[in-house]
Structure 1
Amino acid sequence: MMEMTKMSNKTAWWKKSVVYQVYPKSFCDSNGDGIGDLNGIRKKIPYLVKLGVDVLWLNPIYASPQVDNGYDISNYREIEPTFGTMEDFENLLAEAHEAGLKIILDLVVNHTSDQHPWFQESRKSKDNPYSDYYIWKDEVINNWGSSFGGSAWEYAEERAQYYLHCFAKEQPDLNWENPKVRQEVYDILRFWLDKGIDGFRMDVISLLSKDQSFPDGPVIQNKAYGSYYAGCANGPRVHEFLQEMNREVLSKYDIMTVGEAPHTNADEAALYTDESRKELNMVFHFDHMHLDYDENGKYATNRVPLVALKKIMTQWQDKMHECNGWNSLYWCNHDQARAVTRFGNDSEEYREISAKMLGTCLHMMQGTPYIYEGEELGMTNADFTRIEEYKDVEALDIFKDFTERKGFSKEDTLHLLHLKSRDNARTPMQWDASENAGFSEAQPWIRVNANYKKINVENALADSDSVFYYYQKLIALRHELPIITDGVYELLDAENEKIYAYLRKGEKESLIVLCNFTDETVEYEVDESVKAERSELVISNYKDAPEKFASKITMKPYGAYVYYTK
């Protein structure tokens, strides 16, 4: 294999970092209550260091009634007791920093819990200091629907008014038009940044600004209510709010920010991420997540068509490069199905090889890659067979809606949940082959996937050819090869339905990335305009991959091949 030069420090640290997402509830239980916690994460710092990641993103760890697994926050300055104490968090932060790992926290400020003191006060009357911290109306003024089903408006008897909740009724939306609300949020940011955290992942940040005319949304087929996004996503003041946040808080610290941006295309994302606009470093988009949807939304049996996937990924690569923005790169997270099941092949024959291929395809692009816990093992979707095994509020609502209103059989609905439920990503991390996969000595809050005896960390670390060590090498390459951060992306062979091929081009070097998304052997010929006769193999998921590049290459099932020219 070729020798590589170390990367320069000319770019922001988050541009050459790899982020590892930790879902605290499901990562590691240190105290035997069946729920993952902060000390469990702390215990696994050596594992994360061995993998080579740079940043840990923790899903919400704040005090919460857990209606939506922590995305309903009742106190932003306290740790959820099931996860530990503030001292536990401070110890985790200190040990992570000592080990060279940064930590970013989830910021959830589109809404709070209905148990938050602000809302408890707000709902009491129309004339108390918190009365307009939330969005209240005398009647249901539009057809907006909650993300979890039903109307987005809930009646509160105390005020004889309705409040807006784009998510569960226990998650009332904050009124960002109120400058006091914004200042409260900025104080929360300072509280955590002054503790030394390294940034924020900002939940549904594109929804902060509501169109104050509150227009009806388009009616979605087979849904009782319209879409709330029509008046929420990329609203009229969202950029003003984020620029204010950046000016007053974010710009004062050396941190990274990534905003979750539902219903935001690449052109709109340019406004959030262009460095000159001083808003966010990058956003999570959903364009590639929507490619397998049907009339019932994400609960569909479709596979993602490769040509469409390439088109979307290329749009984002091109636009972020053009606008001086930055990409976030991900296949899965706590809200999505497992990558190898959804985009690869989770059969015994192809699970590992396709997991490595997916990693290659993503990690060679320009942007910051995000690894979701267990992705580096090739963990698969859950194997639940009964609705009682699901815990997610969305899954339970969907099961009820599909079986009672849409006429789906229970079996067909369970199959859709197996493919797309958020619980697929939330089953416990699989550490070893002992009871409960080494996650906990107690019954876990959600059942462990039955394949844990084969797919686990202990087995992966004992196998030099495992998905883990392949991801370790992908991460090392990003640290060592500047072209992965700085090179221009260029798609090859856009209409090919089997192969994802692209270039990364620098002034004096280039990468050729070839990925087979099928279980077939494909004889592939690279366009003659690609001059790469002297290219050397950087990484492949097949040991017998050609060491030197040739314009014609035999690509094995789910094969990935990366060649470097200097």
Structure 2
Amino acid sequence: MQQKKWWHDKIVYQIYPMSFADANNDGYGDLKGIIQHLDDLKELGVDILWLTPFFASPMEDNGYDVANYYQINPLFGTMKDMDTLIAETKKREMYIMMDIVANHTSSEHDWFKESKKSKDNPYREYYIWRDEPLFNMHSTFGGSAWEYDENTKQYYFHEFGVGQPDLNWENKKIMDEFVKIINFWMEKGIRGIRFDVIQLIGKEIDKDIHAYGPTLHSKVRELNLRSFGRYDAVTVGEAWGDLEKAIEFTNPEHHELDMVFQFECTSSTCDYTRYHKFTPKPINMKLIKDILCKYQRGLNDLSWNALFVENHDLGRCINKFGNEKEFYLESAKAIAIMNYFLKGTPFIYQGQEIGMTNIVMNSIDEYRDIEIKGHYQELVLDKKVLTYDEFMKACYQEGRDNNRTPIQWDDSVNAGFNKGAPTWIKVNPNYQTINLKAAKKDPNSIYHFYKKLIQLRKNETYKNTFVYGKFQSYLDDLEHVFVYTRSDQDNQICIVVNMNRYEETITLPFHIEKVLLQNYESVSKMQTQTLRPYEAFVYTYKK
């Protein structure tokens, strides 16, 4: 019997503070901007607000390069602002989840500044230093993963940017430091943690082992025991891997994490045998179905799934999985039904609920992402394996900046993100038609659909079924149609989704008793029916 947790029935909403709301009109989002919109989030129906890193940082990687884990980035505000945010969310029966970057710090962190001073500095072993680069290791952001330090005549390792040196988790002092950091924030009232690239902290560089090193799980267990596990916090790991690795992390008997994000679906639109996200490939909906079902069955009564289709590192889901040009509303709603009635915790990324889309940049200079800049240098300028046009097309399809443009609150200047100051990144020009203010006025909008979906998940009659009910898939051989049920002793509910731009004729596994949610005006009650493009609905049935 699965042990019930306080967060099992909650909806998580991810906030990218830089792009959420700019209260002081300096071009960057801030904590006061989040506070000003808490009632909008409460109205949507979400419960837990996951904030990407808000710590002091030089912002080489938009906060994922932390210079001080105990200080608020001045761009975002002050510690007083954070205390106010925590208090105001609590008033609304909402919670804050923070983002902990434990694999690396900024090169501006005092630990690294000390580490660079000399080979015998007490902080030298906080990082990974070697006399020569090993194994021709390549940085995720392009170029070598080793950077030479003229002062000490050694190289330091950085899995990501040059300004993001990797921590040496073989040094037990690193564990002690992060226990203190996490406990500090738990005491402040944080109720959840998302761990950035957590699979990397067990690396053994001298053996060319980066992810899932032999000491990884013992380290996560120790973190649990000494920090967040003492506070009943909800945890989720960014842990690129497969089902078996997800089980290892989330099996309750292992006392590690509650959930991990699986990226098999979202990364299936890139050719990782070539140039990763910069060589996109067509979506395979049969593969998406199979992956979703695999994780539903694999984690089922054992642990817990994190349900997501967007985050700050991915393109917009309507561009990745849907059909922005022909079936904008229908496909956005179909994606939501497909994903958020599965068993697990829904994660909604800011702007997803109003149907924000990828952005067309006019030139490479308009991009801000360190990953895009690094790979442009490597793939286009240095190696010349992609043309400028090929690279720009890939950035539009898969680039991280697609999800980092300012939230489109209304049709005023800068989409209502601020009062007119130049924004740190370009505002999507379609804000005049795609924005929250317009969406609230339109009862058929994606926004109102998300509200209905969340309300249905929380409906007292059906909530227990959607949260804990058994998952079963049907019509598995169909390429574009996804049919599954959620059932328990109280309800039998069927979810039907056509993820095709063409009609699909199917025979439903069960007769329709009552339609609970649909993305077209009406639903045929016939058991054999022709589904319209991107048609999706949820209904009850009796066996």
State how far apart, in whole Å, the 1-side matches of 2:170 and 2:452 are.
47
Q: Deviations over 1:443-483 (max 9, x none)?
A: 11101001000000000011111111111111122222211
Whether 1:26 aligns to 2:5 is no
Whether 1:456 aligns to 2:438 is no
State how far apart, in whole Å, the 1-side matches of 2:61 and 2:34 are.
21
Are the equivalent residues in 1 in contact too, given 2:19–2:406 (CA < 8 A)? yes
Q: Deviations over 1:145-194 (max 9, x none)?
A: 11001111111122211111100011011111111110001000011000
2:171 aligns with: 178
The alignment's TM-score, normalised by the length of structure 2, stands at: 0.96
Q: Deviations over 1:411-448 (max 9, x none)?
A: 22211111111000000000001111000121111010
Are the equivalent residues in 2 in contact too, given 1:142–1:214 (CA < 8 A)? no
1:11 aligns with: 4
State how far apart, in whole Å, the 2-side matches of 1:168 and 1:251 are.
31
Paired residue type of 1:242: V
Paired residue type of 2:406: P
State how far apart, in whole Å, the 2-side matches of 1:329 and 1:491 are.
17
1:104 aligns with: 97
1:5 aligns with: none
Name stretches of at least 5 consecutive residues in structure 1 with no aligned partner: 1-8, 216-230
1:257 aligns with: 235
1:367 aligns with: 344
State, as a whole percentage, how many aligned pairs show the same letter: 40
State how far apart, in whole Å, the 2-side matches of 1:386 and 1:543 are.
41
Residue from 498, 512, 536 that aligns with 1:516: 498
Are the equivalent residues in 2 in contact too, given 1:303–1:343 (CA < 8 A)? no
Cα offset, 1:12, TM superposition: 0.9
State how far apart, in whole Å, the 1-side matches of 2:527 and 2:269 are.
33
State how far apart, in whole Å, the 2-side matches of 1:10 and 1:158 are.
54
State how far apart, in whole Å, the 1-side matches of 2:206 and 2:389 are.
43
State how far apart, in whole Å, the 2-side matches of 1:100 and 1:469 are.
22
1:43 aligns with: 36
Residue from 465, 472, 478 that aligns with 1:496: 478
Cα offset, 1:507, TM superposition: 3.4
Residue from 330, 334, 350 that aligns with 2:327: 350
Whether 1:506 aligns to 2:485 is no
State how far apart, in whole Å, the 2-side matches of 1:422 and 1:286 are.
15
Are the equivalent residues in 1 in contact too, given 2:143–2:374 (CA < 8 A)? no
Paired residue type of 1:206: Q
State how far apart, in whole Å, the 1-side matches of 2:431 and 2:416 are.
9
State how far apart, in whole Å, the 1-side matches of 2:362 and 2:488 are.
50
Are the equivalent residues in 2 in contact too, given 1:141–1:214 (CA < 8 A)? no
1:465 aligns with: 444
2:403 aligns with: 425
Whether 1:560 aligns to 2:520 is no
Paired residue type of 1:20: Y
1:511 partner SS: strand
Are the equivalent residues in 2 in contact too, given 1:428–1:446 (CA < 8 A)? yes
Residue from 493, 502, 523 that aligns with 1:545: 523
1:476 aligns with: 455
Paired residue type of 2:423: P
Paired residue type of 1:467: I
Tell me whether 390-399 or 64-73 shows the greater mean CA deviation: 390-399
Q: Equivalent residues in 2 for 1:194-273 (5 A)? A: 194-211=187-204, 213-215=206-208, 231-262=209-240, 264-273=241-250
1:332 partner SS: coil
Residue from 470, 487, 493 that aligns with 2:469: 487
Residue from 109, 125, 128 that aligns with 1:132: 125
Q: Equivalent residues in 2 for 1:292-331 (5 A)? A: 292-294=269-271, 295-322=274-301, 324-331=302-309
Residue from 311, 314, 317 that aligns with 1:333: 311
Are the equivalent residues in 2 in contact too, given 1:383–1:450 (CA < 8 A)? no
Cα offset, 1:399, TM superposition: 2.2
State how far apart, in whole Å, the 1-side matches of 2:530 and 2:130 are.
63
1:88 partner SS: helix
Name stretches of at least 5 consecutive residues in structure 2 with no aligned partner: none
Whether 1:95 aligns to 2:49 is no
2:414 aligns with: 436
State how far apart, in whole Å, the 1-side matches of 2:14 and 2:262 are.
16
Paired residue type of 2:265: H
Cα offset, 1:358, TM superposition: 0.3
Cα offset, 1:407, TM superposition: 4.0
Whether 1:62 aligns to 2:55 is yes
Q: Deviations over 1:312-359 (max 9, x none)?
A: 11111111115x111101111000000001100111x41111111100
State how far apart, in whole Å, the 2-side matches of 1:213 and 1:331 are.
36
Are the equivalent residues in 1 in contact too, given 2:269–2:320 (CA < 8 A)? no
State how far apart, in whole Å, the 2-side matches of 1:313 and 1:46 are.
33
Residue from 71, 76, 81 that aligns with 1:78: 71
Are the equivalent residues in 2 in contact too, given 1:483–1:506 (CA < 8 A)? yes
Are the equivalent residues in 2 in contact too, given 1:62–1:77 (CA < 8 A)? yes
Residue from 362, 365, 387 that aligns with 1:409: 387
Tell me whether 99-108 or 313-322 shows the greater mean CA deviation: 313-322
Cα offset, 1:212, TM superposition: 5.2
Are the equivalent residues in 2 in contact too, given 1:26–1:426 (CA < 8 A)? yes
Paired residue type of 1:150: G
State how far apart, in whole Å, the 2-side matches of 1:516 and 1:116 are.
50
State how far apart, in whole Å, the 2-side matches of 1:565 and 1:233 are.
45
Q: For the structure 1 residues 431 and 534, does the alpha-carbon distance in structure 2 shift closer, same or farther, using more than 3 Å as the test?
A: closer
Q: Deviations over 1:203-250 (max 9, x none)?
A: 0001101125423xxxxxxxxxxxxxxx12111111100111111112
1:386 aligns with: 363
Whether 1:282 aligns to 2:264 is no
State how far apart, in whole Å, the 2-side matches of 1:534 and 1:19 are.
31
